[in-house]
Structure 1
């Protein structure tokens, strides 16, 4: 079963092999297989309680080798099998390295090494009241060239919660444009909003502070950006995708993760800092998501004067995070 499912990952839900697997194993094939780009959901589960595992079909994998697949109508996409989650082993599946739902933490660690991730790595607020971790996860490469991994989650009930097989997933830190909304680099360049301005300022700062990864293709572009010869958008053009992931950062990923997504546990976040740094009206600061503040923020230019203010802000917040992970930081900047 495990090997069969490995071969199905990344295939469209209307693929003949997917259809055959669903029908043969008692899953219910969806009446409507496509997903509209107007929908709030970009994925859906196909469940099988009898076998104890579910299949997730997704139109947005955030992997370049598995882009959104257009359907036969504009705005409609065909999802791919991106994730298999085993809740138990009613299917009598043989898992890699003999892993089983009966394993305790020590057995998992002996077989798989130290956990890849624990709850507090995502955010301290996910710790239990007694300070213990609420879960541990292991992620193990299976078919690296196809971005396929498998993994185990061990919960605070001292048992294996689930075993997974999936296309490696990393939620973007920055979403600049969406392919399933027909976004491209060119449409991104024409877009105007304070979200884009704040993202670009952060990314330029990250490049200037040597926080981003480089390779043979991106290194010359990064050098030109640091020397003021190219705009930060040139880095995005070379990456050839509308999202930036934690893996795109070479250092201080935990800072980027916590600050952008407000996951430090101390309510310190970049979006609010950006608004409070550049807004001048106290009432707009008080309601920086409001219509008046949004209008003012959208009019803020990405110029050297404004960037200097944000650069100073980011230098300060990085220093604070490195020293005390925002535990002593002020929630709002003046």
Structure 2
């Protein structure tokens, strides 16, 4: 009949190929013969892993789904584990992590980004000048370290350009260990002592000297060193991806410079816990106190009036808490 078009029959039915007669199963292979590896670098879907003393390149097995694999992960691998050029193994399992360091793009972004896994120490690298120190970024990194269960370490660089006393005084009540380094290498030996036998991640903004420190600690690393723009105060991202480097029984993970360290994934109570120097005052606050500047009865205000707290520390915590609701 005109206008109705051609009638359909069974030849028009599209049948999806099954890919053979092998029945499907939900059971995943156990891979009992898999070997253990340590992820030292990630680059566009390829994972550099250390298996015994061999550097192996691997891809992620399809059965792992969309879960992330990051530097510091301990993984199980199968396939070609020879480490020869142009060979490729498969990561078939990510072992349980002992710690995870995360950050978000900002304080309102719900998407978490895992920076490294299985670290036990977070070294916050801050320059004393060129660029100027950023206490607010230090505070954010300390909150993230406490939340992830990592021991914090302050590493102050470029002491030949400015003295560390004022910045150290701000964090004196926290008893956070610190080292002070100079551009000529002074202080690097002390930093090395803090890193031996540990898995440490170095975090800091661009231009603070992370790559310079890494090259002093692990000369064969040959990390690219950048510079800071004298007008904007911003440095070039010389490290474009995280990489783990061995150092006498331990590992240091160098990370790209950050311009922000969002804490949207951390609950407000855990943000407050990241300021242990304010614990006594917070304990006197009424139940459910949000600890903001306009919170009625907040004990922080009384302690500030009495001169018992550092106003900069209180302002930093309150800024973090308020930024979760709106941009800073």
TM-score tier, shorter chain, comes to under 0.3
TM-score by length of 2: 0.25
Q: Which is greater in Rg? A: 2
State the structure with bigger RCO (CA 8 A, min sep 6), 1 or 2.
2
